Amino acid sequence: MKHLPRTLAAVLLAAAVVAAPADAAKKKTTDVTFMTRNLFLGADLIPLATTRGADFERAAGNLLDTVKATDPEGRMKLIAGEIAKAKPDLVGLQEVTLWRTGPKNDPAPATHVVVDYLASLRRDLAARGAKYRVVADQRTLNLEGPTDQNLDLRFTDGNVVLARRGVKVRHARSHDFKHQLQIPSQQLGTISVNRSYNQLDATVRGAKLHLVNAHLEAYSADSRLQQAKELVKGPLRSKLPTVLVGDLNSGPKLPKPEDRPPFLAIAKAGFKDERTSKPQCCFNDNLTSGTWDHIVDHIMAKPKMKLVRSFVTGMETTAAGLHPSDHGGVVSVLRFRR
């Protein structure tokens, strides 16, 4: 049997030693894709808080017409296309809205579905062969009142998490924040806005992580800050690597100083923004005009992770020229240790 020269054998042995750790290190990481997507409820609810009687009914009727005019089905098809193309492992959705009608002044809750974002989105995903399931759902903002169309209009809203096929989920749970904005209305009395969050543990191709999806208050800086502190003290506390996705209505560079503290409170707890610096908010409510010139939607992680790539979605339009939402979506690919 012939033997290799000692020098050649030594070179081959050294090469094997160098290659083995590199291959082993490569196998010990996996890339996980996250998406945060605000769906836009379809209209501005504030006029309902300032009217009563016939004026309220006209405002509620106009609201229903406005929502229908935003082409919810067409917009959800576009968002399903975004998800199918980006292939996120976990998707945090905010403003997942359900509009229902019923007989006017009927004390029973309205049940006739007019617009159902989640049902439309799931149907369009399935049509594209994109396998996603609902793993967390918290929709507790629920309002109902009469319209001038001889109908009661019922509005339901909240947050949902979708998981791609193959992602294992445990300990999924959802809650409303303890601190809620209370809005006095002339017709419906005092309304609790009921902002909420979802949280869960997930295993993605061997990587174990904790996910939180949240929507912080838009109309009160104080409520927003208190909700951010709730996240830090509660759902964001995990022994696992943790990712926060959501519409925080906050950011370190927003022009109004009062809009910065909620983001900074979360950052102070060790979370780093892991997303593109490209703005993706906001279009106007008509979904045709407006400029993306600031950031309120975030993907944040603790500990700091390698950001493989990140991009925004949402510039496409329906046949009528409407964007899918007033926000763009944010997608980030993060590298995890297994």
pLDDT, tens digit, 9 for 90 and up, residues 49-77:
889 999 999 999 999 999 999 999 999 99
Buried b (16+ CB within 10 A) or exposed e, 9-18: eeeeeeeeee
- Average pLDDT for 133-139: 98
User: ∠ CA(291), CA(74), CA(199), 5° rounding?
Assistant: 75
Question: Is the per-residue pLDDT at 14 higher than 70?
Answer: no
Residues 6+ apart with CB under 8 A from 254: 260, 294, 295, 296
The pLDDT value given to residue 69: 96
The pLDDT value given to residue 210: 98
Q: What is the CA radius of gyration of the chain?
A: 23
Q: Which of these ranges, 15-24, 184-193, 329-338, has the smallest mean pLDDT?
A: 15-24
Following CA atoms 41, 163, 235, 302 in sequence, which dihedral angle do they give, to the nearest 10 degrees?
A: -110
- Please choose, from the candidates 141, 154, 93, 89, the residue with its C-alpha nearest in 3D space to the C-alpha of residue 324: 93
Question: Is the per-residue pLDDT at 8 higher than 80?
Answer: no
Tell if the pTM clears 0.85, that is, is over it.
yes
Question: In the beta sheet, which residues pair with residue 329?
Answer: 313
The pLDDT value given to residue 22: 52
Residues 6+ apart with CB under 8 A from 163: 89, 90, 91, 132, 133, 135, 169, 202
Place 37 in a pLDDT band, splitting at 50, 70 and 90.
Answer: very high
Q: What tens digit of pLDDT does each residue of 104-120 get? A: 999 999 999 999 999 99
CATH code at 30-337: 3.60.10.10
3-state SS assignment for residue 93: strand
Question: Is the per-residue pLDDT at 154 higher than 70?
Answer: yes
- With both helix axes pointing from N to C terminus, report the angle between 221-233 and 261-268 in degrees, rounded to the nearest 10: 10
The pLDDT value given to residue 11: 45
Alpha-carbon span 48 to 59, nearest angstrom? 6
Alpha-carbon span 162 to 135, nearest angstrom? 6
Question: Is the per-residue pLDDT at 6 higher than 80?
Answer: no
Instruction: Judge whether 178 and 185 are in contact, CB under 8 Å.
Output: no
Q: Where are the domains of the chain?
A: 30-337
